[in-house]
Amino acid sequence: MKQKHLLAVICAAVSALSMAVFFNQRSYAEEEDFFTVSAPAETDGSTITTPDGQKWSRVKSLDDNKSYVICVKKSDGTEVMLSAGDGQDEEYIWRYYRRNMVASTYSKFSYLSTPSHYLSCIDGKLSFRYWESTIKDLFWFADETALIFREDENTYYLKYDENAETQFSMTTDRSEAAEVSVYTKGDTLERCIKAQPCSENYVTEGSGYAAPEFSVTLSDAGIITDNVVWNVDGTAHDTDTLSFTAVELAGREAGVHRVSCIIEGHDDKGIIYREKSSDALFVIAKGVIPDSFISFSDVHEEYHLIGNAIETTMNRTGGYIPGLIICTGDLVNGPTPDSDYMLGHYYPLIKPHLGGIDTVFVSGNHDPGKAASEMSVKADLGAAKDLSASGGLIFDGSSDAVKANGTSSTADRNIKVFGINYEAAAHRNIHDDRYYSYDSIIDSTKKFLEETAKDYNGELIVISAHSGLHVLGIDPASVNRNGNSISDWIGENAYNIDKSYELASLINSCAEQYDMNIIWLFGHDHSRQETEMFLTEGDTLTSPVKYTEQSFNTLPLHFTYAHAGYLSTSIGSADSSFCFVQKNDDKYSFDLIRTYDNTVRHTEFADRYTASVKSTETTAPAETAPLITEQAATTETSAADTVTEPAVTAPAVSENGTETVSSDVQTSESKKETEAVSFQNISSLPETG
């Protein structure tokens, strides 16, 4: 009896499962009928009014994080809206998202959804279901007359047959595609700016400079402008021209000004354009601080924060600017764009925010290395002729290019920058999985340091690399914002890179042998909640040997190792921070600064160069900025305006006081107890210089 009962239960379960599968299949099939049409209240070819009274303008493409009404044309020429619902309560407003804050190696993916439904294409069939893939492209886009879905190399078009039982489907034949019109509303409609307004150079206060001129170029010759409004520091100027002379910016005192424009227009196809340009920084400086630079990592498309960093620096220095800007990777979000798109789309958006100050670039895991190298070459600041996608020398203050161009870089004659693009560490193994190792960059780094040593005169050698050299969670400085240790080997091989110890040992030996001033600046770790690190002469670096074995070694440092700051605000521990470095007699000042509240962590590292005679060719601006030190901070301190600072000092370098590096490799099982990191409070900076 018990066996019969058990058999009955099993049969009932199988039957129930079969019914569930059946109804699920039926539900999936019936979903096709939920795609229907709704009539707009009014349409004129360029705009439509939806039944709820909202007016929408016709555009030709889909933009991230915007809402759209998608219309198809019937045989009689009238337009109806693509809707989803049960036939009684249709939803016709579709929100478009592109997946961008993901791993750089992910494929392209986008969403089109109403509050209750997703529009997707699965196996060439229109569906309410969707699935995300990290191995293939799955994304929607529009091209004026069609709604298109791309699945890797396969292209599908939305098809509409008003007489069919199932009116909407997908087709691979463009001739069968529905004639589609896309409508949106908001501050931005169809984008129309090809070349952004930009100030190519900063100007010097009191120099009698002419009023600055700004201009934009439209993306299509067929665009008819209806209205052009230029803005200077928030004040509107209705000019109706694509070029603008900002007379009110002539003769101003030192400071940062922002110029932008809003363009509205249309074309003969009924497309309506509206776009605000990037803010073009116009910098008026009292002078340039010799041998100084600002650096940051991970701006992640929040480009206005670059201008905030420049302005914050000028407020700190009383109107003086750094000689150089070093962008240390992750200028964009993932998935990683190709090099041409980076140069054609993103670089023109970044450049206006630089204010004409000399800038070089290093790629992060979200940026194409080839584009970063080309952007540094465009700066014409002494980049190596053989600069590759892996990086190399991107700034040479003593180069002929710097001497000839007469820009702010003449104040940075005693700095060289060696860029290591992130993809230089990326490899694939036999299983086609990514792993990361510095083995391909060690020889070129060695060659650069040895060549530099032949004619070394005390320059600061900046190695700008998006990734670091330490083990996350093992190094005592691997702590979160609260000062608590983070987990051992947190993250993955992308953060704990093989042969870091070998590369660090190479740099260390060159710094010691040639008394080189070397600083390694990195970012990338913000997504792992790690607080900003600063290690220098006399500190110990814990560095990966082999990630798969979780092996590491320690290195008594003879160079400086620090975070460049995380200029973005929305990811992990990123908090709109950047570093400002300047020469200060026999040492260098290193300030990590937050733009939104002007707090600073002030540290220093020693000038290791022991030669008695420095280069006599070094020149500086006729007017130089006063050195800004820790004493420039306000004396009043409160819990709200203080930041933590590792209590690190840079001891004097002794010729015979160096430590011998052990060749024994440690493992995570045998690592020493994590040492506590001490902190001290630094008061916030004044609001103005």
Cβ neighbors of 9 (< 8 A, separation 6 or more) are: none
On whether both 92 and 114 belong to a single domain, the answer is yes
pLDDT of residue 572: 76
Q: Find the angle CA(654)-CA(450)-CA(422) to the nearest 5 degrees.
A: 100
On whether both 585 and 437 belong to a single domain, the answer is yes
Is residue 502 domain-resident? yes
- Mean per-residue pLDDT, 353-360: 96
**Where does the pLDDT of residue 53 fall: very low under 50, low under 70, confident under 90, or very high at 90 and above?**
very high
Count of CB atoms situated within 10 Å of the CB of 129: 11
Among 280, 309, 338, the domain-final residue is: 280
- Mean per-residue pLDDT, 70-82: 94
pLDDT of residue 536: 96
On whether both 437 and 538 belong to a single domain, the answer is yes
> How do residues 248-286 score in pLDDT, each as one tens digit?
999 999 999 999 999 999 999 999 999 999 999 999 999
Is residue 10 domain-resident? no
Residue that has been written with the tokens 């980076």 in this structure:
342
On whether both 513 and 657 belong to a single domain, the answer is yes
pLDDT of residue 514: 92
Among 152, 184, 216, the domain-final residue is: 184
On whether both 257 and 126 belong to a single domain, the answer is no
pLDDT of residue 9: 38
**Where does the pLDDT of residue 492 fall: very low under 50, low under 70, confident under 90, or very high at 90 and above?**
confident
Separation of alpha carbons 312 and 321, rounded Å: 10
Name the percent of the chain lying above pLDDT 70. Answer: 81
**Where does the pLDDT of residue 142 fall: very low under 50, low under 70, confident under 90, or very high at 90 and above?**
very high
On whether both 261 and 317 belong to a single domain, the answer is no
**Where does the pLDDT of residue 87 fall: very low under 50, low under 70, confident under 90, or very high at 90 and above?**
low
On whether both 396 and 505 belong to a single domain, the answer is yes
- What is the helix (H) or strand (E) element at residue 448, kind and residue range? helix 439-454
Is residue 6 domain-resident? no
> How do residues 20-29 score in pLDDT, each as one tens digit?
332 333 333 3
Mode of pairing for the β-strands spanning 66-73 and 79-84: antiparallel
pLDDT of residue 660: 34
On whether both 628 and 507 belong to a single domain, the answer is yes
pLDDT of residue 34: 67
Judge whether residue 192 has pLDDT over 80. yes
Find the largest Cα–Cα distance for the chain.
Answer: 105
On whether both 268 and 296 belong to a single domain, the answer is no
Task: Quote the tokens at residue 383.
Answer: 């980049």
Judge whether residue 130 has pLDDT over 60. yes
- Mean per-residue pLDDT, 304-313: 97
Is residue 5 domain-resident? no
> How do residues 444-464 score in pLDDT, each as one tens digit?
999 999 999 999 999 999 999
Q: Please give the mean pLDDT across all residues of the chain.
A: 83
> Where in the sequence is the domain holding 203, given as residue range(s)?
193-280
On whether both 120 and 236 belong to a single domain, the answer is no
Residue 625 DSSP label: P
> How do residues 410-430 score in pLDDT, each as one tens digit?
678 899 999 999 989 987 654
pLDDT of residue 555: 95
pLDDT of residue 88: 64
Sequence length of the chain is 689
pLDDT of residue 628: 45
| DSSP annotation string for 464-492 | EESS-SSPTTTSTT-B-TTSPBPPTT-S-
- Mean per-residue pLDDT, 392-401: 90
- Mean per-residue pLDDT, 491-519: 95
Judge whether residue 225 has pLDDT over 60. yes
Is residue 13 domain-resident? no
Count of domains forming the chain: 3
Q: Find the angle CA(322)-CA(325)-CA(328) to the nearest 5 degrees.
A: 145
pLDDT of residue 481: 74
On whether both 528 and 653 belong to a single domain, the answer is yes
Judge whether residue 611 has pLDDT over 70. no
| Range scoring the smallest mean pLDDT among 154-158, 253-257, 401-405, 548-552 | 401-405
Separation of alpha carbons 572 and 411, rounded Å: 35
Is residue 21 domain-resident? no
CATH code, 552? 3.60.21.10
Judge whether residue 549 has pLDDT over 90. yes
Among 225, 258, 280, the domain-final residue is: 280
| Range scoring the smallest mean pLDDT among 136-145, 205-214, 680-689 | 680-689
**Where does the pLDDT of residue 86 fall: very low under 50, low under 70, confident under 90, or very high at 90 and above?**
low
Is residue 435 domain-resident? yes
**Where does the pLDDT of residue 36 fall: very low under 50, low under 70, confident under 90, or very high at 90 and above?**
confident
pLDDT of residue 327: 98
Judge whether residue 328 has pLDDT over 90. yes
| Range scoring the smallest mean pLDDT among 87-96, 131-140, 248-257, 611-620 | 611-620
Strands (E), 550-586: 551-556, 560-563, 577-584
* C-alpha R_g of the chain: 29
Is residue 434 domain-resident? yes
- Mean per-residue pLDDT, 360-380: 95
On whether both 432 and 497 belong to a single domain, the answer is yes
CATH code, 121? 2.80.10
For residue 585, the Cα-to-chain-centroid distance in whole angstroms is: 34
